[in-house]
Amino acid sequence: MSEEPIILRAARPDVAEGLAFAGYLNAAAEGFFQIWLGKDFNRVIAHAYTKPGHDLSYENATFAVRGERIVGMATGYTADQHRASSLTPLRDAQGYRAVRAAIIAAVFAPLFRVLDTLEDGDFYLQAIAVDPDLRGAGVGSLLMKRVAEEGRASGSRRLCLDVAGSNAGARRLYERLGMNVVSESKIFYMPGVRLLRMAKAIGRTIWCPEEPHLPAAR
């Protein structure tokens, strides 16, 4: 009997789905959200995820599913959506831990400010992640195609993401998909740490990458 097909669907404002979203988001960010929000990061993100109007909202996420199992996730938004994003849902979900998170956020403020450099007409791929056992099965390609479609539907002119300068493998993959480095951000008190902004114009033809799997956009 053949395996069930992988399909894509919009995320729903459900805490259980929020926990899955948190796991993928943290994996794509190489553990950053756990550092920022603490060991209970998944609960914090899951509860914020159920609220509209911010970068980590269910409104921006797409899940890849096989049967009843979620096997991958991508999340992205326009530059205008980012500018209108509110931190209130995340702060409310943190409760008494909000002070700790605020201190860590201040330390990493230059990293957060990189997002504020999004240009009008940008659609930003915040994160993409696939279950380890399905990497290479085409799930990443499906998610990337959906992100490009959403970008086009929003009226955006280009798709962009940030990748760590040290992640040469990810950069090569994105370059093979037609994305180019358009800017570089260095963190002055973190020697050797730099983020590369990569972008690709979104034209009339739906972008369908040949690469079956992409690593996290970090």
What residue ranges do the domains of the chain occupy?
Answer: 6-201
Q: Which fold has domain 6-201?
A: Aminopeptidase (3.40.630)
> What pLDDT sits at residue 175?
84
Beta bridge partners of 74: 62, 128
Low-confidence stretches of the chain (pLDDT beneath 70): 1-2, 96, 99-101, 103-111, 186-193, 203-218
Q: What is the pLDDT of residues 61-77, one digit of tens each?
A: 999 999 989 999 999 99
Place of tokens 């991508």: 74
Q: What is the pLDDT of residues 119-140, one digit of tens each?
A: 999 999 999 999 998 887 889 8
Report the candidate in 124, 133, 139, 16 with the shortest Cα–Cα distance to residue 80: 124
Beta bridge partners of 215: none
- Collapsing DSSP states into helix, strand and coil, what is residue 46? helix
Handedness of CA 182, 198, 154, 22 (dihedral sign): negative
